[in-house]
Amino acid sequence: MAQIIDGKKISSQIKEELKEKVSVMKQEGKTICLAVIQVGDDPASSVYVGNKKKACAYIGIESLSYELPADTTQEKLLALIAELNGRDDVNGILVQLPVPAHIDENAVIRAIDPGKDVDGFHPQNVGALCIGQRGFVSCTPAGIIQLLKRSGIEIAGKECVVIGRSNIVGKPMALLLLRENGTVTVTHSKTKDLREVTRRADILIAAVGKPGMITREYVKEGAVVIDVGIHRNENNKLCGDVDYDDVAPVCSAITPVPGGVGPMTIAMLMLNLVESAALVR
């Protein structure tokens, strides 16, 4: 029977630990504040932003909310970011992505002070991860490392295969596994004979963005399978990149969707925020 890696439980543990830390920091006179900017009113983005603000409130972190109309100019958005960069009372700045098409996403990411870039998307933070220096790390892959460690799964020396090479999941995931001394292979849409590669994995991370694509033919018996994908199936139920029912019987541990990787992303955002406040002030 595969171990089910419970992301809900592990993210709750992390939030409880942070709540305690924040309460101690408050007693020392340190407050933590996240500025969240949303441009437009995309319903999915509004849900994500709402969840982030809720998590802040639970842990004891203040949040400032900027809901800008969809036709906000890039100049106006960059001016707001510059103002927030300069405010001592703001520890973290988050611009909910995607931004409307007339705004250059990379310019927005670059405009955020790397010391306040709690999403870990700024090139300086990505570069720091690459060369093993301290910096903010993209929340979803950082959450996966926590899931593995807190479930007692050893990474060092293991064959780790990442399916997907996006800037927010696949690439930082590979770098983090490498930092943990895994032997890492990154695969993508041009990989030849994907199954042959993924079947070598002791730890398989699926971040391919294709519902149910990873069936047991892609998985070595006894592997640990981490499913990053989030989709709605034809019955409007949440599902991942992994065909859970097919894969669970052959692996040693697996994350469900929902309740696996998803809850970890916000927990790691909160961790980044608390760390930024502890470092700076």
Least distance (Å) from ligand NDP to the CB of residue 150?
A: 17
Nearer to ligand NDP, 120 or 262 (CB): 262
Running DSSP on this structure, what letter comes out for residue 115?
G
Q: Which residue among the candidates 15, 96, 146, 171 is catalytic per the annotation?
A: 96
Q: Which of 126, 177, 197, 207 binds ligand NDP (CB under 6 A)?
A: 207
Nearer to ligand NDP, 25 or 129 (CB): 129
Is the Cα torsion angle 261, 264, 266, 268 positive or negative in sign? negative
What gap in Å lies between CA 122 and CA 137, rounded to an integer? 10
Q: Is 13 a catalytic residue?
A: no
DSSP string, 24-90: HHHHTT---EEEEEEES--HHHHHHHHHHHHHHHHHT-EEEEEEE-TT--HHHHHHHHHHHHT-TT-
Q: Is 96 a catalytic residue?
A: yes
Least distance (Å) from ligand NDP to the CB of residue 123?
A: 17
Q: Is 26 a catalytic residue?
A: no
Q: Which of 40, 100, 123, 209 binds ligand NDP (CB under 6 A)?
A: 209
Least distance (Å) from ligand NDP to the CB of residue 206?
A: 8
Output the residue with the shortest Cβ distance to ligand NDP. 166
Q: Alpha helices of the chain — where are they, by DSSP H?
A: 7-27, 43-59, 74-85, 105-111, 123-130, 139-150, 170-179, 194-198, 244-247, 262-280
Least distance (Å) from ligand NDP to the CB of residue 257?
A: 8
Q: Which helix (H) or strand (E) holds 238?
A: strand 238-239
What gap in Å lies between CA 81 and CA 76, rounded to an integer? 9
Chain residues 152-171 in contact with ligand NDP, contact rule CB under 6 A: 163-166, 168-170
User: Could you say whether residue 140 binds ligand NDP (CB under 6 A)?
Assistant: yes
Reference 13, options 264, 224, 265; nearest CA is 264
Chain residues 8-67 in contact with ligand NDP, contact rule CB under 6 A: none
Contacting residues toward ligand NDP, per CB under 6 A: 140, 163-166, 168-170, 187-191, 194, 207-210, 228-231, 241, 261-262, 265
Q: Which residues are catalytic?
A: 52, 96, 119
